[in-house]
Amino acid sequence: MPESTKVNENKAKIVVVGSFIADITSFVPRFPREGETVIGSMLKTGPGGKGSNSATAINRAGGSAVMITKTGRDTLSEICLNHYKEEGMDSRYVYTSDTVATGAAIIEVNENTGENRIIVMMGANLDLLPEEVRAAESEFESCRAVLVQMETNLDAVKEAITLAKKHNKLVVCNPAPARQVPDGLFRGVDYFTPNETEAEYFSGIPVKTTEDAFTAGRELLKLGVKNVIITLGKDGAALVNSKNEIIIPTTDLLPVDTTGAGDAFNGGLTVALSEGMDIITAIRFANCVASISVTRKGVSPSMPTRREADTLFDEYYGKNS
């Protein structure tokens, strides 16, 4: 195990501004065609949302997540609060909307390939206000990094990036789901982490090959971000910055459910960067967190522990680096 992957004695505090979504997941032998009914094998409900999933990954991978999100006053919100209690996560900044329901997702998972299809209702996430983010400024001041994504009110995301820069904190932005954003929103982001679809959305370049990924990465740097990391599923991740254009391979674990893989990657990446790992090592560590997560059904509950991620890092990259 390289020295750089060991857990620091003091866990890195990471502020996550993003979504909580209650997941309703069905497992099917194949996806139905339009108008067709397919009999599924299992239905699961549980905690989800890109922000919350990443915060869970952070907590389990050796960091300490401070989650800023919003739910409704309904039964689904109990999934959120119960999960944070069980995980030992800080829920002081879980705000409640009196008028809008908790966000929810309908997920289909192909149990033969692990691939998924998702419909998201963002609900109360769209009601998270900039002033509610600002109320947590002391957390931004004392954290090591801030992680944001697009599954919430973009004014709240902008406020989070502004506070992070005010206090000279590292910013990781997962631009998911891909959606229209205000001009300049990403300017100053340290690590920009789209998947192939999101990279195409923001760059205008379809990502089908390694060279496509590098070309898209160069275009995405024009948004004012410092590093672009395009996640490529089983093909690993493409890093593009002013010095590098490189593919970092991922592990060879076989997926069962790929839902939340990007959230796991971003959580692992932010922990690694917060601990001072160099970018290549950090991406490798993030690959391990994501790889383990997709070998299990579910999303937040599938996130691995630090010991599991370190063990896979040692086993895979120790012999493949």
Residue in 226, 230, 220, 237 with CA at minimum distance from that of residue 280: 237
Task: Point out the residues that are catalytic.
Answer: 263
Q: State how far the Cα of 226 lies from the Cα of 174, in Å rounded to an integer.
A: 14
CA proximity to 273, closest of 187, 193, 170, 165: 170
What is the per-residue pLDDT for 100? 96
Distances (CA, A) of 122 to 16, 153, 160: 17, 9, 19
pTM for this entry: 0.91
Predicted pLDDT at 127: 97
pLDDT number for residue 6: 47
pLDDT per residue rounded down to tens, the chain (321 residues): 334 444 444 799 999 999 999 999 999 999 999 999 999 999 988 999 999 999 999 999 999 999 999 999 999 999 999 999 999 998 899 999 999 999 999 999 998 988 889 898 999 999 999 999 999 999 999 999 999 999 999 999 999 999 999 999 999 999 999 999 999 999 999 999 999 999 999 999 999 999 999 999 999 999 999 999 999 999 999 999 999 999 999 999 998 888 899 999 999 999 999 999 999 999 999 999 999 999 998 788 899 999 999 999 999 998 665
Sheet with 13-17: list strands edge to edge. 94-97, 64-72, 13-17, 145-149, 170-174, 191-192, 227-231, 237-240, 245-248
- Range 188-197 burial, b when 16+ CB lie within 10 A, else e: ebbbbbbbbe
**Amino acid identity of 148?**
V
Return the pLDDT at 280.
97
- Which pLDDT score, from 0 to 100, does residue 321 have? 56
Residue with tokens 């750089």, as numbered in its chain? 4
pLDDT of residue 2: 39
Question: H or E segment at 137?
Answer: helix 137-142
Give the chain's domains with CATH numbers: 8-20+50-101+129-320 (3.40.1190.20)
Spell 221-252 as b/e; 16+ CB within 10 A means b. Answer: bebebebbbbbbbebbbbbbbeeebbbbbbbe
* Per-residue pLDDT at 90: 85
**Could you give the CA distance from residue 71 to residue 77 in angstroms, rounded to a whole number?**
6
